[in-house]
């Protein structure tokens, strides 16, 4: 009794296997089926059918050749099938030549090669007419291009014996190639070059002055300096030379010295080169060491360019090093009294009060004739005549003047303080000044 389930399972598996093995259908009963790998052949059937709805379509069937179907299932349809002969190429003009395109064959007695199947006169082997604009012999060449046709004569319009030949014609009897203007009989190879008409009269490729027949014109020398503006189309006159660069100025030519004027005087391509006219010492007009300069050509004009600029003041060299007009002890940079107060300038003369010998009266030059530390600008009237600086003009001042009377700057007894007129001599003029201020 326990074997019954096992037997049942075996029967079930066998039934399922029978269902899975489906037969390939043969719908048109021609013994050929479309096999797709998922079915089995029925007894007597074969694979290979390509249309299972038509019994006339199967492997081995005759190709109908005109029905647009692959009747024998070999992959070729109608004319493509080896069972079918190729269609004939039609010879419309009945000249024995047809236009073949690869899908047809010529009929018996015909040949391929026609290039115009509407004209029986056009075919391989026909004679080229040479003048009708057609390829009569179907060789790809038309009229004069065809080897059957002789070249056309090159026309000589101006009847000068020379024609314009272009490679597709030959000169007529008695003519030659080489003309370059077939409308003028005066223009031809061997003609004389006119030299002034702007034409190539002898057809050698050169016009007028460029032609070897023509002498070169003279290069102009408008300013008469013996130097001309030359080019390839002219030559200098006798006595002239090429090389001018400005033919409107006789003072500009290769023989001139360069001047400082913004021009290229010597025609070497450079302007004002070498600092022409410069190099001499000059005064810039600036104070101190900045006054020393050298003449320099700049922008076509002479200028005095300073040799050196301002530097820090050296307080013991007698020079205005910082170019501010003040020397050594008169310069705020050198005065110990100016420490921390170098900007105060009561009289606005650009000399700080701390070193100004007359701080309330403008005297940028700081002149002090009598070298008493008080600037000349502050010494006028009674202060000038107060020779001993006692605060009063009196007999003591007269006595000092008397001791220096008639003395000059170079005399040992000369006293600068007594020279009230500041003319380097103590005389009556000084006595008169003191007398006018006596008692003040």
For residue 248, what are the CA distances in angstroms to 43, 243, 260, 262, 272? 121, 13, 19, 16, 19
Give the closest residue to 170 by CA, choosing from 149, 141, 191: 149
User: Residue 6: its pLDDT value, please?
Assistant: 41
User: Residue 260: its pLDDT value, please?
Assistant: 96
First vs last Cα of the chain: how many Å apart? Answer: 174
Work out how many domains the chain is built from and give that number.
Answer: 2
Within-domain flag for 195: no
User: Residue 5: its pLDDT value, please?
Assistant: 45
User: Residue 236: its pLDDT value, please?
Assistant: 83
User: Residue 279: its pLDDT value, please?
Assistant: 94
**Region for residue 343 given its phi and psi (left: phi exceeds 0; alpha: psi -120 to 50; beta: otherwise):** alpha
User: Residue 85: its pLDDT value, please?
Assistant: 74
Token representation of residue 124: 């391989």
Within-domain flag for 98: no
| Domain boundary pick from 58, 85, 112 | 85
**Four-CA torsion 250, 253, 257, 263, nearest 10 degrees:** 80
Within-domain flag for 51: yes
**Distance between CA atoms of residues 44 and 21, nearest Å:** 17
Task: Name the DSSP class of 128.
Answer: P
Q: Is 306 helix (H, G, I), strand (E, B) or coil?
A: strand
* Residues 65/83, Cβ–Cβ less than 8 Å: yes
Give the closest residue to 202 by CA, choosing from 233, 232, 210: 210
Within-domain flag for 230: no
Give the closest residue to 62 by CA, choosing from 53, 72, 73: 72
**Distance between CA atoms of residues 5 and 20, nearest Å:** 23
C-alpha 115 chain-centroid distance: 57
Token representation of residue 20: 């899975």
Using alpha carbons only, give the angle 68, 72, 78 rounded to the nearest 5 degrees: 30
**Distance between CA atoms of residues 213 and 191, nearest Å:** 10
User: What's the CATH number where 416 sits?
Assistant: 1.10.1330.10
Token representation of residue 69: 């179907």
Task: Name the DSSP class of 4.
Answer: H
| Domain boundary pick from 30, 51, 85 | 85
User: Residue 267: its pLDDT value, please?
Assistant: 95
Q: Residue 404 belongs to what domain range? A: 380-440
User: Residue 378: its pLDDT value, please?
Assistant: 77
Q: 97 burial class (0-12, 13-18, 19+ CB within 10 angstroms)?
A: buried
Strands (E), 116-258: 152-154, 162-163, 169-171, 176-177, 218-219, 227-228, 235-236, 241-242
Give the closest residue to 130 by CA, choosing from 139, 430, 12, 298: 139
**Distance between CA atoms of residues 49 and 13, nearest Å:** 33
**Distance between CA atoms of residues 207 and 269, nearest Å:** 32
Which H/E stretch holds residue 432? helix 428-436
Token representation of residue 112: 């391929």
Q: Tell me: the pLDDT tens digits for 384-440? A: 878 888 888 888 988 888 898 988 888 888 888 888 888 889 898 988 988 888 888
Q: Tell me: the pLDDT tens digits for 151-160? A: 888 889 999 9
Q: 361 burial class (0-12, 13-18, 19+ CB within 10 angstroms)?
A: middle
User: Residue 332: its pLDDT value, please?
Assistant: 65
* Residues 303/278, Cβ–Cβ less than 8 Å: no
Mean pLDDT by 10 residues, the chain (440 residues): 44 44 88 89 90 92 83 83 80 92 80 92 90 90 82 90 86 91 95 85 86 82 92 81 93 95 95 94 93 94 93 81 78 64 73 76 76 74 80 86 88 86 88 87
Angle at which helix 395-404 crosses helix 428-436, to 10 degrees, equals 170
User: Residue 17: its pLDDT value, please?
Assistant: 45
**Distance between CA atoms of residues 5 and 356, nearest Å:** 142
| Domain boundary pick from 66, 85, 104 | 85
């Amino acid at each position: 009794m326990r074997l019954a389930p096992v037997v049942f399972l075996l029967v079930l598996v066998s039934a399922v296997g029978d269902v899975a093995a489906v037969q390939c259908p043969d719908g048109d009963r021609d013994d050929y089926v479309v096999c797709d790998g998922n079915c089995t052949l029925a007894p007597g059937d074969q694979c290979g059918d390509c249309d299972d709805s038509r019994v006339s379509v199967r492997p081995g069937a005759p190709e109908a050749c005109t029905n647009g179907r692959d009747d024998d299932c070999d992959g070729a349809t109608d004319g493509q099938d080896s069972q079918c002969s190729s269609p004939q190429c039609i010879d419309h003009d009945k000249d024995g030549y047809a236009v073949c395109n690869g899908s047809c064959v010529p009929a018996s007695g015909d040949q391929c090669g026609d290039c115009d199947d509407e004209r029986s006169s056009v075919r391989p082997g026909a004679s080229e007419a040479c003048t009708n604009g057609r390829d009569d012999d179907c060789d790809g060449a038309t009229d004069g291009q065809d080897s059957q046709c002789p070249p056309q004569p090159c026309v000589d319009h101006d009847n000068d014996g020379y024609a314009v030949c272009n490679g597709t014609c030959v000169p007529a009897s008695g003519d030659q190639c080489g003309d370059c203007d077939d409308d003028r009989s005066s223009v031809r190879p061997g003609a004389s070059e006119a030299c002034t008409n702007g034409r190539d009269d002898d057809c050698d490729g050169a016009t007028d002055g460029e032609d070897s027949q023509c002498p070169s014109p003279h290069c102009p020398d408008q300013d008469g300096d013996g130097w001309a503006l030359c080019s390839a189309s002219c030559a200098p006159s006798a006595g002239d030379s090429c090389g001018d660069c400005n033919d409107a100025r006789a003072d500009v030519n290769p023989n001139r010295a360069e001047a400082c004027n913004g021009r290229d005087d010597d025609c070497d391509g450079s302007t004002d080169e070498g600092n022409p006219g410069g190099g001499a010492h000059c005064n810039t007009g600036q104070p101190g060491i900045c006054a020393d300069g050298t003449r320099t050509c700049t922008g076509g004009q002479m200028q005095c360019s300073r040799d050196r600029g301002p530097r820090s003041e050296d307080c013991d060299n007698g020079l205005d090093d910082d170019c501010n007009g003040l020397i050594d002890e008169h310069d705020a940079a050198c005065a110990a009294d100016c420490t921390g107060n170098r900007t105060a300038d009561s009289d606005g003369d650009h000399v700080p009060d701390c070193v100004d010998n007359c701080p309330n009266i403008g005297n940028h030059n700081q002149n002090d004739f009598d070298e008493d530390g008080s600037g000349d600008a502050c010494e006028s009237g009674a202060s000038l005549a107060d020779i001993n600086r006692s605060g009063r003009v009196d007999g003591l001042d007269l006595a000092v003047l008397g001791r220096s009377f008639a003395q000059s700057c170079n005399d040992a007894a000369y006293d600068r303080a007594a020279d009230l007129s500041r003319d380097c001599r103590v005389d009556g003029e000084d006595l008169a000044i003191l007398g006018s201020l006596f008692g003040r």
